[in-house]
Structure 1
Amino acid sequence: MTAFRKHHISVTHAVSGIYTALATQPNFRVHITLSLLAVVLGLSLDLSRLEWAAISFVIAAGLGFELLNTSIEFVVDLLTDQHHLLAKHAKDTAAAAMLVYAAGSVVVAGFIFIPKLLLLFIN
Structure 2
Amino acid sequence: MTSPFKGRTGLKRILNAAGYSRDGLCAAFRGEAAFRQLALLNLVLVPLAFFLDVSRGERALLVAVCLLALIVELLNSAIEATVDRISLERHPLSKNAKDMGSAAQAVALGMIALVWGIVLLG
Could you tell me the TM-score, scaled by structure 2's length?
A: 0.86
Aligned to 1:5: 12
| Aligned-pair Cα RMSD in Å | 1.5
Deviation at 1:51, TM superposition (A): 1.7
Separation (CA, whole Å) in 2 of partners of 1:56 and 1:43: 9
Separation (CA, whole Å) in 2 of partners of 1:70 and 1:10: 19
Aligned to 1:120: none
1:29-68 superposed matches below 5 A: 29-68=36-75
Aligned residues: 115
Deviation at 1:2, TM superposition (A): 4.6
Q: Which piece of structure 1 moves more, 44-53 or 17-26?
A: 44-53
Structure 1 residues 37 and 85: alpha-carbon distance in aligned structure 2, compared to 1, 3 A threshold: same
Aligned to 2:112: 105
Deviation at 1:40, TM superposition (A): 3.3
Deviation at 1:63, TM superposition (A): 0.7
Aligned to 1:118: none
Aligned to 2:32: 25
Higher helix fraction (1 or 2): 1
Unaligned 5+ segments in structure 2 are 1-7
Q: Per-residue displacement from partner, 1:31-57 (whole Å, max 9, x unpaired)?
A: 111111112322332432112210121
Aligned to 1:86: 93
Aligned to 2:4: none
**Percent of aligned pairs with the same amino acid:** 31
Deviation at 1:102, TM superposition (A): 1.0
Unaligned 5+ segments in structure 1 are 116-123
Separation (CA, whole Å) in 1 of partners of 2:101 and 2:74: 10
What stretches of structure 1 move > 4 A for 4+ residues in a row? none
Contact 2:38/2:70 (<8 A) preserved: yes
Q: Of residues 8, 14, 17 in structure 1, which corresponds to 2:21?
A: 14
Separation (CA, whole Å) in 1 of partners of 2:39 and 2:119: 19
DSSP 3-state at the match of 1:82: coil
